[in-house]
Amino acid sequence: MCAGHLRRHVEDERLAASGRARKDDSSRRAQLLDVAERLLLDEGYAAVTSRRVAGEAGITLSLVHYYFGPMENLLLEVFRRRAEDMLAREADALASDQPLWALWDTTREYAATSLNQEFLALGNHYELVRDEICAYSSRFRRLQYELVSKALRDRQVDTAEWPPEGIILLIDGTSRFLGSERTYGLSFGHREATAVIERLITEIEGPRSPAPRRTPA
């Protein structure tokens, strides 16, 4: 093999090894995030320690720190991954013909999850997580405002009477409040509050359209 071919061969082997290493690193990081998220859901944030994550993942404690550093970085990545997924889902939902109904449904779904409650609790203990919750909440709010404002304009709704900011906060805030109360078993007035919100949405967008049937693959 000539020198030029040999150098290219060596370089190709080096790049292939580097690619495999990156793939292995990505797979290992995803595994650790999965473990941490499962512990959050099953046992709460207090159970998510570096030692516990390492044990559940079947790796050494030092590897957890190698991939994420301080434990708050791992928790931060768990939140970011879930928040990005939720942001994409909400963008897709709000692009529908009835964004207010979509906003009501998606925020109620998310507010009812125990994972959401754990993230809020984490924010009280880790400043980095709290700041990230604030940053993502701002992104959610901007997305909601842009799409709801457009929907109101398209329907020629009087935004002086129905300001999009007020509608968004009313829907989102009610979803979060009801979801928070349900976590400790309180439901007084929930049905009536839900009826009020849905009557408001119906006045603006009309009755909720039935979900389209999916064509079998």
Phi, psi of 62 (to 5 degrees): -65, -30
Segments forming the whole domain that contains residue 199? 70-207
Same-domain status, 22 and 79: no
Name every residue whose Cβ is closer than 8 Å to that of residue 174 and which is 6 or more positions away in sequence.
193, 197
Amino acid at 217: A
Name every residue whose Cβ is closer than 8 Å to that of residue 75 and which is 6 or more positions away in sequence.
36, 45, 48, 122, 126, 129
With CA atoms as reference, report the closest residue to 139 among 69, 60, 86: 86
CA count, 13 A, side-chain hemisphere, 82: 24
Q: What is the CATH number of the domain that holds 49?
A: 1.10.10.60
Same-domain status, 45 and 87: no
Q: What is the CA radius of gyration of the chain?
A: 23
Distances (CA, A) of 129 to 35, 41, 76: 18, 17, 6
Number of domains in the chain: 2
Cα–Cα dist 157/105, whole Å: 21
Q: What pTM value is reported for the model?
A: 0.77
Asked if 148 contacts 167 with a C-beta cutoff of 8 angstroms, the reply is: yes
Name every residue whose Cβ is closer than 8 Å to that of residue 165 and which is 6 or more positions away in sequence.
145
Residue 92 belongs to some domain of the structure? yes
**Span 51-79, pLDDT tens digits:** 999 999 999 999 999 999 999 999 999 99
Q: Tell me how crowded residue 142 is: count the other CB atoms within 10 A of its CB.
A: 10
pLDDT value of position 4:
53
**Span 165-174, pLDDT tens digits:** 999 999 999 9
Same-domain status, 44 and 74: no
pLDDT interval class at 15 (50, 70, 90) = very low
